């Protein structure tokens, strides 16, 4: 049966941010095994910042991501394993290694104005016969015309699918509809949507995206993801069934994965806190949240002030080092030294 929408489950990549990149092989095996039984089409596995992300700047992984990918591939029979690569963090060698381990889908992610840096990685993925996604992050930061321009670049490099990625959870439903509709009209490839729930509109945004023509959708089981998390997969499956939209995912089984496998792993329930709300309001990259909280605690400043300042500076993924600089400067201004 043809599926109206194909779901990519991102908890084992985006959710890595929420657990400080501490996933174990056993956890990945268990979750993938159950997602596979629930007929989830794609399961993304990587460090939160993609292949090669384990570092002092982005956070060290407990287990090498390639070992996690290998474990995921071994447990997937119906599902296909996907991974994420940000050029400049991940390399072509990382992508080649992931392909050798059995990864089927490459999701090549750039800032929404930097699609040109994805060319070599998209080309390589196609050469290796991978299903290839162009992933345009922080999509709220540019007008729709610019988004279309950048999406066309990814399409020209060979991307099979191009995603509108609301990395900050800052878009509202009408803005998502406008962007997806424009890409659907201007591109010849499938269109996808990846949402974050910092303003509590991830589900509404996702439904608008589907109605506007998106056929590839990201979800995170139990909302496990950066910031306030992503569109909640098991809830999304229920909503889509009520709308008569086919995904092929078994609703009871995906609910059970959420309840019995993923929920016990959460350090605390994913919810919209004052900090994640500030992040969506300011339009800040969702993975900045834990970094900002740590800096705020260390320098005794308000996390929200850091996030708002990052928004004013239009900080993007890869500029995590700015967070400490901002916190230091705020602390100095609040407690100036008297000589």
Indicate if 47 belongs to the active site: no
Going by the annotation, the residues of the binding site are 13-14, 167, 194, 196, 285
- Please tell me the distance from the alpha carbon of residue 234 to that of residue 21, in angstroms, as a whole number: 23
Reduce the DSSP state of residue 112 to 3 states and report it: coil
| Nearest CA-CA partner of 67 in 42, 88, 97 | 97
- Please tell me the distance from the alpha carbon of residue 13 to that of residue 28, in angstroms, as a whole number: 10
- Please tell me the distance from the alpha carbon of residue 193 to that of residue 208, in angstroms, as a whole number: 10
Reduce the DSSP state of residue 218 to 3 states and report it: strand
- Please tell me the distance from the alpha carbon of residue 167 to that of residue 230, in angstroms, as a whole number: 9
Phi first, then psi: give them for residue 190, nearest 5 degrees: -70, 150
Going by the annotation, the residues of the binding site for Mn(2+) are 14, 194, 196
User: Tokens 């290998």 map to which residue?
Assistant: 70
- 33 touches 72 (CB < 8 A): no
Residues 63-88: b if buried by 16+ CB within 10 A, e if exposed: bebbebbbbbbbbbeebbbbbbbbbe
Catalytic residue among 17, 21, 34, 94: 17
Tell me the catalytic residues.
Answer: 17
């Amino acid at each position: 049966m043809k599926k109206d929408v194909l779901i990519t489950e991102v908890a084992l990549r985006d959710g890595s941010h929420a657990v400080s990149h501490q996933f174990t092989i056993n956890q990945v095996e268990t979750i993938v095994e159950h997602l596979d039984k629930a007929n989830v089409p794609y399961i993304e596995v990587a460090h939160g910042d993609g292949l090669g992300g384990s570092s002092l700047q982005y956070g060290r992984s407990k287990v090498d991501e390639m070992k996690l990918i290998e474990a995921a591939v071994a447990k997937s029979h119906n599902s296909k394993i996907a991974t994420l690569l940000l050029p400049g963090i991940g390399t072509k060698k990382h992508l080649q290694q992931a392909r050798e381990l059995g990864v089927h889908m490459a999701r090549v992610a750039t800032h929404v104005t930097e699609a040109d840096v994805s060319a070599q990685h998209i080309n390589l993925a196609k050469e290796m016969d991978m299903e290839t996604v162009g992933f345009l992050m922080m999509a709220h930061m540019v007008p729709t015309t610019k988004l279309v321009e950048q999406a066309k670049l990814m399409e020209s490099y060979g991307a099979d699918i191009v995603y509108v990625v609301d990395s900050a959870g800052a878009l509202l439903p009408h803005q998502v509809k406008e962007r997806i509709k424009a890409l659907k009209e201007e591109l010849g490839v499938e269109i996808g949507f990846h949402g974050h729930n910092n303003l509590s509109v991830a589900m509404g945004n996702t439904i608008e995206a589907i109605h506007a023509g998106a056929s590839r959708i990201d979800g995170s089981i139990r909302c496990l993801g950066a910031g306030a998390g992503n569109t909640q997969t098991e809830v999304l499956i229920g909503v889509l069934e009520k709308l008569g939209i086919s995904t092929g995912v078994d609703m009871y089984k995906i609910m059970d994965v959420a309840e019995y496998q993923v929920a016990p792993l959460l350090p605390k329930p994913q919810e919209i806190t004052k900090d994640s709300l500030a992040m969506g309001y300011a339009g800040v990259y969702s993975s900045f949240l834990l970094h900002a909280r740590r800096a705020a605690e260390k320098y005794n400043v308000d996390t929200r002030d850091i996030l708002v300042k990052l928004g004013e500076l239009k900080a993007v993924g890869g500029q995590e080092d700015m967070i400490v600089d901002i916190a230091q400067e705020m602390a100095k201004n609040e407690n100036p030294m008297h000589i």
